[in-house]
Amino acid sequence: MQFKSFDIVPHGTHIDFVGKRRIAVTLSLLVNLAVILWSLPQIHGLNFGVDFAGGTEMQVKFDNAVDPGEIRRSLEGLGFKDASVQTYGPDSDHAYLIRVGRIALLTQEDVTRIVAAVKAKFPVQGQPHFNPEVGDKIDFEFQTLPAPAELQAAIESAGVRVREIREEAGLTAGSKALAVLTQGIQDRVEKDLFAKFASAKPQVLRVEYVGPAVGRELRNQGFKAILYAMALIVVYVGLRFDFRFSPGVIIALIHDAIITLGYFAFTGREFNLASVAVILTVVGYSVNDTVVVYDRIRENQGKLKGKRLADIVNISINEVLGRTFLTSFATALSLVGLLIFGVGTIFDFAMAMAIGIISGTYSTWFIAAPMTIWLEERTAARKSAPTGAKAA
């Protein structure tokens, strides 16, 4: 028993990919340029998540609908001028992502005020110690330790709520210091939301915070990771095939990475660690189609001696057109569930991945392989140019 099978790309299809490369390259260049420009902070910028921007992020869920604008206004009222509020998941969930740009609630003015208030009442030794990159904690050294309750009263008189006062070992062996932990951002926001939206029963599901310096470092590392991965892949493909193919691979990889980035740039969805994971995966995956085409080009170069490279490339792409399409299609198909049921980061993950996969196939057909010819032609032109120059 045999079913009749069908080909999604009919056998014998002949599309002139090489001939259309100018249009394709121009189009790709324009799109890539648009993504890059749009991603620049001076023009629009990426919506960096808390991983990269630093700050505090809270996922809050309400029992019934709440106006996100109202939440933002109440946050501004608390002194978070840079607060952002985003809907998280379907509207029926009434879930929001709240983001503020710092991790310590205390500002330098608060600290100065507190220190002045404490110094007025107790014999403070040296300069109290505060680090905004670490959190809401001030260390005091005293000649004689005051009672924690009295210290707390003195600090709260400066208008800051104390969460805990802890005795710690002092600087010199045997001396003691008091560490004052003041109310943090989460506590403050939670209390405020509870007071304002009590009827909607706010619930903090998740809190993340990353210090601004850490965020910068993670961002740089992510960028480096993508570059390393690209470099390693290019070297591998070069070793396995021919370094003549490398420029095409590099350009295709950069193209796919930028197109994937474009999803985050143009939708304004959060760009975070998971987004870097997507770009890296796209970079590793999209080269697969390119490998298939290059493999065929190599095979055909042996078989079709005497043909122009441009023709060989065209024939090769057409011969494997079906499979380069189908592999990407099958992989994209596996993401369908995530696109339907995923929320937040996972939806973005699947969406960006799908876009990257499509871009990978496109770049294989129109960019990577034709680029090889273009470079080949240029080299040929260069080789003949010097002799021409001499003659002139």
Partner 1 sequence: MERTWYWRLALVVAVALLSIWQLVPSWFYFRLPPAERNGPAYEESVPGWSPNAKKHLNLGLDLQGGILLAMGVDVDRAVKAKVARRADEIGDFLKDKGVPVATSAPSADGTRVEVRSSDPKRAEQVVLDSYSAELSAPSGAPDGAVWFAFRPKVIQDFQTKAVEQAEKTIRNRVDKWGVSEPDIKRKANNQIQIQLPGFKDPEKAKELLGRTAQLEFKITDDDSAVLDPVRSELPPCPSGPEGVQLPLPQTGCWMVEGVELPTGIQRQVTFLAASRRQDIEAAIEKDLRPKISRDQDIGIGEVTVGQGPIKEHFYRTYLLRAKTELTGDYISDARASVDNSKGVGEPVVVFTMSPEGGRLMEKLTTENLHRRMATVLDSKVETAPYIQGKISTNGQITLGSGRNYQEKFEEANEIALVLKAGALPAPVTIFEERTVGATLGPELIRSGTVAALVGLAAVMVFMLLYYRGSGLIANVALVENGLLVLAIMSLLGSTLTLPGIAGFVLTLGMAVDANVLINERIREELRAGKTVRQAVDQGYDKVFWTIVDSHVTALVAGVVLMQYGSGPVRGFAVTLIIGLLASMFTSIVVTRVIVDWFTRKDTARLSV
- Within 24-63, which residues bind partner 1 (CB under 8 A)? 59
d(CA 12, CA 374): 25
Among 72, 331, 358, 374, binds partner 1 (CB under 8 A): 331
State both tokens at 213: 């310096």
Q: Give the CB-side neighbour count of residue 267, counting CA atoms within 13 A.
A: 16
* Binding flags for partner 1, 349-388, as an x/- string (CB under 8 A): xx--x-----------------------------------
Q: Which stretch binds partner 1 (CB under 8 A): 20-28, 259-267, 333-341, 379-387?
A: 333-341
- At closest approach, how far in Å is the CB of 355 from partner 1? 14
Binding of partner 1 at residue 136 (CB under 8 A)? yes
- Name which of 38 and 194 has its Cβ closer to partner 1: 194
- Name which of 21 and 369 has its Cβ closer to partner 1: 369
Binding of partner 1 at residue 201 (CB under 8 A)? no
Neighbours of 260 (CB within 10 A): 29
Among residues 52, 49, 108, 51, the alpha carbon closest in space to that of 84 is found at 49
d(CA 163, CA 135): 12
- Name which of 21 and 104 has its Cβ closer to partner 1: 104
Binding of partner 1 at residue 254 (CB under 8 A)? no
Q: Give the CB-side neighbour count of residue 183, counting CA atoms within 13 A.
A: 15
User: Radius of gyration over alpha carbons of the chain, in Å?
Assistant: 30
The kind and range of the H/E element at 157 are none
- At closest approach, how far in Å is the CB of 380 from partner 1? 28
- At closest approach, how far in Å is the CB of 230 from partner 1? 9
Among 36, 78, 145, 179, binds partner 1 (CB under 8 A): 179
The alpha helices in 146-269, defined as continuous H runs, are: 148-156, 185-196, 212-240, 246-267
- At closest approach, how far in Å is the CB of 267 from partner 1? 18
- Judged on CB neighbours under 10 Å (0-12, 13-18, 19+), 205 is exposed
Binding of partner 1 at residue 233 (CB under 8 A)? yes
d(CA 391, CA 57): 69
Among 40, 304, 346, 380, binds partner 1 (CB under 8 A): 346
- At closest approach, how far in Å is the CB of 181 from partner 1? 8
- At closest approach, how far in Å is the CB of 160 from partner 1? 16
